[in-house]
Amino acid sequence: MVSPAIACEGLRKRYGTTTALDGLDLAVAPGTVHGLLGPNGAGKTTAIRILATLLRPDAGHARVAGFDVVRQASHVRERIGLAGQHAAVDEILSGRQNLVLFGRLCHLPVSAARRRADELLGRFALAEAGEKPVRQYSGGMRRRLDLAVSFIVTPDVLFLDEPTAGLDPHGRDEVWQTIRALVAEGTTVLLTTQYLAEADQLADVITVIAAGRVAAEGSPDKLKAMAGGDRVDVVLRDARDLNSAAELLRTQLSTEPRVDHDRRLLSVPTTDRLAALTTTIRSLEHAHIIAEDVAVRRPTLDEAFLHLTR
């Protein structure tokens, strides 16, 4: 087996009385995109900060690109890129000046830093805006510049903390495309996000964390399957029919429907979509219960998420 690009065991971190991480275990295979998914306060950012050597764990071990994040922090820093929740670039300098500055800070000689800045401006579609101060950039451009900075020295492992938070759909697509291109070059990416669509789009493997520990892990499809299979959703016209309809479907389909009184909704898990659909419609009609809407649907990652972090 290939040794993991990121491996951590039993990471713990407390802030005062708040436990941010409560024994987090994680293994990320090289060259993959791994999504850390969790509600606010689940410990996503804390995990990233520890792995990027910005924060010391109270307990546990973590290795990134083969080096211990506490004892060999400087080796780790030579091999990682980090793009945090803010676009951590200098607002006053131009895009090019930012890239040259950070290139020099990565120990590139002046000429190499300039060359690299030009390359990256081109690759991140910022060539035209290269001389403008970052203050005048759009949100998407800032993020792209931020990603470009974390790519000055092509990192083995790239940490992205909510890379598209606060971007409009257009900016988000730009960032997604950029991330995909980077991964194609072999960089391992660990990204945190609150947007399930983002994890679904980008990640090979998703770890759902809740209250500082792993709640579930697997491919997006596997996680969706954990939330249950297909469902038939029925919206009734009259909420008073909900209980009798639920009883009816329970006997007819021999499963347990979920009842949502607010939405006058019955949600029935099923393995045979079409049979369940026909049976549902037929038995409701028979009992003179009027349905406004009947639909078959697959679970979304949102449901998986709610299910797993509840």
Partner 1 sequence: MITRRDLQHWARQPGAVIANTLVFPVMIVLMFGYLLGGAMIVPGGGDYRDFLMPGMFAMTMVFGIGATLSAVSTDAARGVTDRFRSLPMAAEAVVAGRAVADMLSSAVALAVLTGCGLAIGWHPHRGVARAAGALGLLLLLRFAFVWIGIYLGLRFYDNSEAVTAVRTLEFPIGFLGNPFVAIATMPAWLGAIALWNPLSSTASAARQLFGDPVGAGPSWVTGHAILVAVAWPVILIVVFFPLSVRRYRHLSH
Answer yes or no: are the C-beta atoms of 181 and 150 closer than 8 Å. no
Contact 223, 308 (CB under 8 A): yes
Closer to partner 1 by Cβ: residue 80 or 223: 80
By CB under 8 A, tell whether 90 contacts partner 1: yes
Return d(Cα 52, Cα 101) in angstroms, integer. 20
Nearer to partner 1 among residue 94 and residue 164 (C-beta): 94
Chain centroid to CA 242: how far? 37
Q: Does 165 bind partner 1 (CB under 8 A)?
A: no
215 lies in the site for partner 1, by CB under 8 A: no
| Enclosing H/E stretch for 160 | strand 157-161
Among 3, 56, 136, 278, binds partner 1 (CB under 8 A): 56
Cα separation, 174 vs 216, in Å, equals 29
Q: How far is the CB of 93 from partner 1 (least distance, A)?
A: 6
Using CA atoms, how far apart are residues 124 and 137, in angstroms rounded to an integer? Answer: 13
- Does 54 contact partner 1 by CB under 8 A? yes
Minimum Å distance from CB 88 to partner 1? 4
Q: Minimum Å distance from CB 267 to partner 1?
A: 42
Options 35-43, 86-94, 246-254, 301-309: segment touching partner 1 (CB under 8 A):
86-94
Least Cα distance to 203 among 194, 213, 215, 191 occurs for 191
Cβ neighbours of 41 (radius 10 Å): 13
Select from 101-109, 171-179, 184-192, 265-273 the region that touches partner 1 (CB under 8 A): 101-109
Footprint of partner 1 on 120-149 (CB under 8 A): 133, 149
Site track for partner 1 across 233-272, x = CB under 8 A: ----------------------------------------
Nearer to partner 1, 40 or 74 (CB): 74
50 or 179: CB nearest partner 1: 50
CA dist., res. 153 & res. 174, Å (int): 21
Verify binding: residue 80, partner 1, rule CB under 8 A.
yes
98: closest CA among 171, 147, 154, 64?
Answer: 147
Q: What does residue 229 show for φ and ψ, rounded to 5 degrees?
A: -85, -150
Told to check if 102 binds partner 1 by CB under 8 A, we report: yes
**DSSP 8-state secondary structure symbol assigned to residue 33:** E
Answer yes or no whether residue 78 interacts with partner 1 by CB under 8 A: yes
Other CB atoms within 10 Å distance of the CB of residue 138: 14
- Amino acid, res. 156: D
In the complex, least distance from residue 4 CB atom to partner 1, rounded to whole angstroms: 20
Provide the total of helices (H) and of strands (E) in the chain, helices listed first: 11, 14
- Region near partner 1 per CB under 8 A, out of 88-96, 162-170, 199-207, 230-238: 88-96
- Binding region for partner 1 (CB under 8 A): 49, 52-56, 74, 77-78, 80-82, 84-94, 97, 101-102, 104-107, 133, 149
